[in-house]
Structure 1
Amino acid sequence: MNIEQLNADHGIGDQLKFVEGTGGFPFIKIDNDKASAVISVYAGQVLSFQPANDSNNLLFLSETAYYQPGKAIKGGVPICWPWFGPDPDGLGRPAHGFVRNRFWNVMRTGIAADGDTTVTLGLADTPETRAIWRHSFNLSLEITVGESLNLELITRNTDTRPFFITQAFHTYFKVGHINQVAVLGLDGLEYVDKADNATYKLQTGAVSIGAEVDRIYRNVQGELVIDDVALDRRIRITSGGSNTAVVWNPWAKISAEMGDLKDDDYERLLCVETANADLDIVEIAPASEYHLTANYRVERDVMDELQVLKSPT
């Protein structure tokens, strides 16, 4: 992709610029009155989002992440699609699908009436994708950078037959220290504990992290909150088109084994993913579409609701 041409077609003054990023990937750099952000055109992946009034990034991005064609970038908001987790058909296809390791198309950019910056990226089927997944589709990701970060993934079925998908925003949040973090809003829900032989368990109270965590929570309704004491902030997650939340931290052993994480990176990251996964499988009819949305907002004000969410029902 030609950076000069991308800027000519889609650049917006000082507010939105295309630059050559790590590994030669085209990056979109956004800087408006409300926030700054970096988006990789490869993988259609938000890598950075920092509100103007916050000294810390919302997102974790590994310093040893791979920036190579065919590899996933560790951090930010990878897109898992058209399946979440291992290949559902056991054919040896890559985990989490194939859209997080392909270049997307820049469809349009703009400035909303409220001053937010908008970017729409798109991806459609090709002979290569149909050899992996035998369906015709049109995928678009609408990104809005303002006081919050808003993502909307739209799947359009352009095939002549229905297809089924699972998917996720596999979001890596930056945290001050994993021992001082709690996830609120999942109390009383059943989850699949993939770190414990996929056993079924019931969440009691807030989710705290003291070992490897890999959980798929079912029937998730309403908002989730990441309470981060070390950074003195809360991250509010509001989602749509999803009944599943995934909470993941690799902990020390897996972090040390991963070439694209530092040994102690597990202390600084927490994935809370908006997903359709496990039993939450989406059927999309021909000429129909499905919307998955997530909004991430940093909050610092004291809220009575926080104590309500922390207390078991």
Structure 2
Amino acid sequence: MTIEQLNANYKIAGQLEFVDGKGGLPMIQVNSAKARALISIHAGQVLSYQPVGEPEDLMFLSEKAYYQDGKAIKGGAPVCWPWFGADPEGKGRPGHGFVRNRAWNVVATEAMSNGDIKVKLGLVDTPETRAIWPQSFSLLQEIIIGDALNLSLVTRNAGKETFSITQAFHTYFKVGDIARTKVLGLEGCEYIDKAGGNAQKQQSGAVTIESEVDRIYLDVGNTITIDDSALSRRIQITSQGSKTAVVWNPWEKISKEMADLDDADYQRLLCVETTNAANNVVEVTPGGECRLTANYRVVRN
């Protein structure tokens, strides 16, 4: 659909409209009484979320991000699906699956009675997706923008055989200073240290970032908090449908090597990801569905 058609069908006067974004990609701009947000229809990806009264965005978005078909957008809340990480079958397919670098469909928009704004985006299998991953599926993302940001990813199996998925909201959070940031709620959890040869270790105390960090935490609880003392705030992440979480920061070397990151971006971003990863594989039976949910809320220090 064109921007004009999208606005004709789904615009919410004074609160939600469709606009041409960077690279000519269609975007959803939300300006409600509760929050501002920017959502890219390409990748089905929330790029920005800022509650009214908050001086800073919750999300990090790279100034060097790509905005083009076939490329992932570096920042916001990318969706990794139907696998997290490298191609599980080693066939050379894209890392983190194929839904974060293609256009989604707008399914519905709604101004809810409590003042929240709801956006539904979807994807279904096509001959192109079946050539990558030979399954019939329906994927729906429900985005609720209010005092908090709530993301739900619903996978439905439209085929005749059970399939397995791993998945994630690979969310990039903006932090004031990575050296003054810590992650709470993972104390005592076992984790796979992907930056340390995939050794399995145990977290002692809060997570702090002093070098490259790429960890899959196992058997996690449903609440994790980013304590960002430089911005005098805490970001509370509450999840459902997930038993693993990923903490990632590229640090200096990788930040310099990534063309879509500024050299110093590692100092101002932290990924804390709501995932089904590692041994947390989800089986979806024919006609069945699964739901992964993440809720993000600012708690002032």
- The TM-score, its normalising length taken from structure 2, stands at 1.00
State the secondary structure of the residue aligned to 2:230. coil
In the other structure, the counterpart of 1:129 is 129
In the other structure, the counterpart of 1:92 is 92
In the other structure, the counterpart of 2:43 is 43
In the other structure, the counterpart of 1:120 is 120
The CA deviation at 1:14 is 1.4
Q: Which runs of no fewer than 5 residues in structure 2 stay unpaired?
A: none
Structure 2 counterparts to residues 22-171 of structure 1, below 5 A: 22-171=22-171
Distance 1:299 1:54 in 2: 10
In the other structure, the counterpart of 2:209 is 209
Distance 1:180 1:35 in 2: 26
User: How far does the alpha carbon of each residue in 1:283-307 deviate from its partner, in whole angstroms, 9 at most, with x for none?
Assistant: 0000000000000000105xxxxxx
In the other structure, the counterpart of 1:306 is none
Contact 2:37/2:47 (8 A) holds in 1: yes
The code of the aligned residue for 2:278 comes to D
Structure 2 counterparts to residues 242-261 of structure 1, below 5 A: 242-261=242-261
The CA deviation at 1:244 is 0.4
User: How far does the alpha carbon of each residue in 1:183-218 deviate from its partner, in whole angstroms, 9 at most, with x for none?
Assistant: 000000000000000001000000000000000000
In the other structure, the counterpart of 2:241 is 241
The CA deviation at 1:222 is 2.7
Q: Percent identity?
A: 62
How large is the RMSD of aligned CA atoms in angstroms?
Answer: 0.5
The CA deviation at 1:113 is 1.3
User: How far does the alpha carbon of each residue in 1:63-84 deviate from its partner, in whole angstroms, 9 at most, with x for none?
Assistant: 0000011000000000000000
In the other structure, the counterpart of 2:295 is 295
> Is 2:182 aligned against 1:182?
yes
Count of residue correspondences: 301
> Is 2:206 aligned against 1:224?
no
User: How far does the alpha carbon of each residue in 1:227-277 deviate from its partner, in whole angstroms, 9 at most, with x for none?
Assistant: 000000000000000000000000000000000000000000000000000
State the secondary structure of the residue aligned to 1:99. coil
Distance 1:227 1:211 in 2: 18
Distance 2:286 2:229 in 1: 47
The CA deviation at 1:112 is 1.0
User: How far does the alpha carbon of each residue in 1:139-193 deviate from its partner, in whole angstroms, 9 at most, with x for none?
Assistant: 0000000000000000000000000000000000000010000000000000000
Q: Which runs of no fewer than 5 residues in structure 1 stay unpaired?
A: 302-313
State the secondary structure of the residue aligned to 1:217. strand
State the secondary structure of the residue aligned to 1:215. strand
Contact 2:222/2:240 (8 A) holds in 1: no
Distance 1:222 1:6 in 2: 36
List 4+ stretches of structure 1 deviating above 6 A. Answer: none
The code of the aligned residue for 2:105 comes to N
State the secondary structure of the residue aligned to 1:101. coil
> Is 2:22 aligned against 1:13?
no
Contact 2:45/2:100 (8 A) holds in 1: yes
